[in-house]
Chain A
Amino acid sequence: MTPCQSSRTTKSRDLVQRDWSVFGSGVKSRPWVFCRDSIASMSRLRQPVNICSDRGSSPLEVVAWSVVLLAPITPMLGIYQQLSDQLAAESIARHGLRAAVFGFQSGGDPKQALDAALLTLSQSWNKEVSSVNLQCTPNCTAGSMMHLEVRINRATAIQSAGLQEQ
């Protein structure tokens, strides 16, 4: 009978004696060796206790560690996506607005120039522009200000530029 089996059925005093008989002759330096199951019952003896059980589930441990180590990947991907969208939106807004301003100053339609630029810019960033809003304050005439708002998914960027006075 092993000490682990005996600890369930015997009282503490009996277990001490039994363990001594099992380990005492073979393990000289560590005569007091008890099992996990007997720790609770042995606590009142105030003796050093070693756990001699290494039972456990390796698959369970792999799953637990995988969860701990892989869990941050999802929020990291979300943050990366948001930052990527934001950078793309800022860049597209900036260059799109420049194209619109040049389109206006060359006497053309700024929206037409913007649409042509947006096609190239969104392809170069490999992003789909959700919405675009081009407006002027107070109106699209020389000397006023032009604003372009670009939205890519949840990222929004806005850029402003002055229209050159004639």
Chain B
Amino acid sequence: MKSDSGTIAPLIAIYLAVILLVVLGTSAVGVALVAKNRIQGVADSAVLFGHDRTVIRGVPEEGALGEQVEKFLESAQSAKRIQIVTARSWVQGEKSNLEICARFLNLLGVGIKSGVICASSSAQSFIVDEGK
């Protein structure tokens, strides 16, 4: 070795950068999981709400499904903390489908919001009453 002179500062900086990266990466994954969970929950509840109110003899009505889903997203408290970017509902056979893309606001109570997360959900009636 010709020279052993130098500074330890770059080594410390690299260690700190790696630690910071690990903390941020872990937090981002956890936050995405939480946001996905909430948005999936809203999508599930919304499609059930819409399907229950529009199904006639086991077949949902597409136009009414969209209206009911919109009504749910406007009034549900669970949807207050998410910012809906797109919401698309459609009927396929006897199945009601919903796909929403949204951002979760004020994640972990620290005022940040997630990126756009999409969740899709379906509902179908398996027991059809006589009258409905």
Contacts and interface: CB of A to CB of B under 8 A. Distances in A.
Interface in B19-59: 19-20, 22-23, 26-27, 30-31, 33-34, 37-38, 41-42, 44-45, 48-49, 52-53
Contact of A90 (B41, B45, B108): B41
Nearest to B81: A158
Given A87-B33, A91-B37, A51 B45 contact: no
B102 interface: no
A43 interface: no
A77 to B, nearest CB: 11
Contact of A147 (B20, B48, B52, B76): B76
Given A76-B23, A165-B53, A83 B78 contact: no
A69 B17 CA distance: 11
A72 B76 contact: no
Contacts, number: 80
Nearest to A97: B45
B108 to A, nearest CB: 6
B40 to A, nearest CB: 9
Interface residues of B, number: 34
Nearest to A49: B5
Given A80-B26, A93-B41, 15 more contacts: A72-B20, A76-B23, A79-B30, A83-B33, A83-B34, A83-B108, A86-B34, A145-B49, A145-B75, A147-B76, A154-B109, A160-B45, A160-B72, A164-B52, A165-B52
Interface of B: 5, 12, 15-16, 19-20, 22-23, 26-27, 30-31, 33-34, 37-38, 41-42, 44-45, 48-49, 52-53, 72, 75-81, 108-109
27 contacts: A68-B16, A72-B20, A75-B23, A80-B26, A82-B108, A83-B33, A86-B108, A87-B34, A87-B37, A90-B38, A94-B44, A137-B75, A147-B76, A149-B77, A156-B109, A158-B77, A158-B80, A158-B81, A160-B72, A160-B77, A161-B45, A161-B48, A162-B45, A162-B48, A162-B49, A162-B53, A165-B52
